[in-house]
């Protein structure tokens, strides 16, 4: 569920807020452990008593640890809490590294200049941090010369030795032989 117009704390500016975050009247437990806005422990009490404390301070009662026994709630400004959660999610997304797999297709009887050109492209992909999938396609009777294809892929591996290491060695898959090279650390 990505959009819920009734409950506004689900989606804000394209960032999804945790669905299990309950606030104020949504908290329906017999007992909750309450923490004040400054971090001091107020103790275990009913949600109604905690709501009175939150109302006096003109803040919200937010369940921050629903799996604890009893659940932990904090008296805080929910808008500020939501903003901090969104900020953390954005930072986590920035730190994620997406690795693309670039594919280079060659044939068993590739000419030297074409081979060098493909190696140069593969090296640039590896320098940019992408994986490279080298696919050697066999046509017609070429499939009976799989050893020749493996020799070409090994030559390709040797040419990329400075910038990459083989993650998956050459292997026949149908009418193709595939090898995957990853960038060196």
CATH of 11-95, one of 3.10.20.80, 3.30.70.20, 3.40.50.720, 3.20.20.70: 3.10.20.80
Give per-residue pLDDT as tens, 79-90: 888 898 899 999
Give per-residue pLDDT as tens, 44-77: 999 889 899 999 988 989 888 888 888 999 999 9
Global confidence as pTM: 0.51
From 3-17, 49-63, 91-105, 168-182, the region with the lowest mean pLDDT: 3-17
Give per-residue pLDDT as tens, 18-31: 556 788 888 888 89
d(CA 61, CA 76): 6
Q: Above pLDDT 70, what percent of the chain?
A: 89
d(CA 78, CA 60): 6
d(CA 105, CA 54): 65
Query: What is the average pLDDT across 125-134?
Result: 92
Q: How does DSSP classify residue 23?
A: B
Per-residue model confidence (pLDDT) at position 185: 77
**Please, what is the average pLDDT of the chain?**
85
Find how far residue 29's CA is from the centre of its chain: 34
Give alpha helix (H) positions in the chain: 47-56, 78-95, 112-127, 146-159
3-state helix, strand, coil in the chain (%, to 5): 35, 30, 35
| Assigned CATH topology for domain 101-183 | Translation Initiation Factor IF3 (3.30.110)
Q: Six-digit token pair at 136?
A: 């050697």
d(CA 139, CA 142): 5
Per-residue model confidence (pLDDT) at position 19: 55
Q: Six-digit token pair at 64?
A: 């921050």
Relative to beta strand 32-35, strand 72-76 is parallel
Token pair 């986590």 in the structure block, residue: 92
* Domain range summary for the chain, segments of one domain joined by +: 11-95, 101-183
């Amino acid at each position: 569920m990505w959009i819920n117009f009734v409950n506004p704390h689900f989606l804000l500016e394209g960032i999804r807020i945790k669905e299990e975050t309950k606030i104020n009247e949504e908290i329906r437990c017999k007992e909750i452990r309450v923490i004040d806005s400054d971090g001091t422990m107020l103790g275990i009490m009913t949600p109604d008593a905690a709501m009175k404390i939150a109302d006096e301070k003109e803040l919200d009662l937010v369940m921050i640890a629903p799996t604890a026994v009893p659940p932990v709630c904090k008296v805080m400004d929910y808008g500020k809490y939501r903003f901090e959660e969104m900020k953390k999610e954005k930072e986590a997304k920035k730190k994620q590294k997406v690795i693309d797999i670039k594919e280079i297709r060659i044939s068993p009887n590739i000419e030297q200049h074409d081979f060098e050109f493909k190696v140069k492209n593969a090296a640039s992909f590896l320098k940019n941090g992408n994986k490279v999938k080298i696919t050697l396609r066999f046509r017609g009777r070429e499939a009976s010369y799989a050893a020749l294809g493996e020799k070409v892929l090994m030559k390709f591996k040797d040419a990329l030795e400075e910038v990459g290491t083989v993650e998956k060695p050459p292997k026949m898959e149908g009418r193709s032989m595939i090898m995957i090279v990853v960038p060196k650390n």
